[in-house]
Amino acid sequence: MHHGVDLHVHHLVPREWFYYQDSMTIDEHGNQLANLLTICCDHHKKWEQRQVDPEEIGLNLPSDF
């Protein structure tokens, strides 16, 4: 796997938290740049499975994340 080749966009605050009541339309705040992280496919999978420490990939998040 070549890191940086297959990039994904990760939502720091899950986009499910921004859906309207119809469960199909996402509020614009969910896709603000401050909520998005570009991450390689391999690390994205690990992140979603809670197998990667954000500091391991150079990300310093607030302690409440």
Contact between 15 and 49 under an 8 Å Cβ cutoff? The reply is no
Q: Output the pLDDT for position 4.
A: 57
Name the token pair of 51. 């197998």
On the question of pLDDT at 65 being above 60, the answer is: no
Q: Which residues, including other chains, have CB under 8 Å from residue 6's CB and lie 6 or more apart?
A: 40, 41
Q: Which pLDDT tens digit goes with each residue over 3-62? A: 557 899 888 888 777 777 776 666 777 788 888 888 888 888 887 887 777 777 666 666
pTM of the model: 0.59
Report which residue type is found at 50.
Answer: R
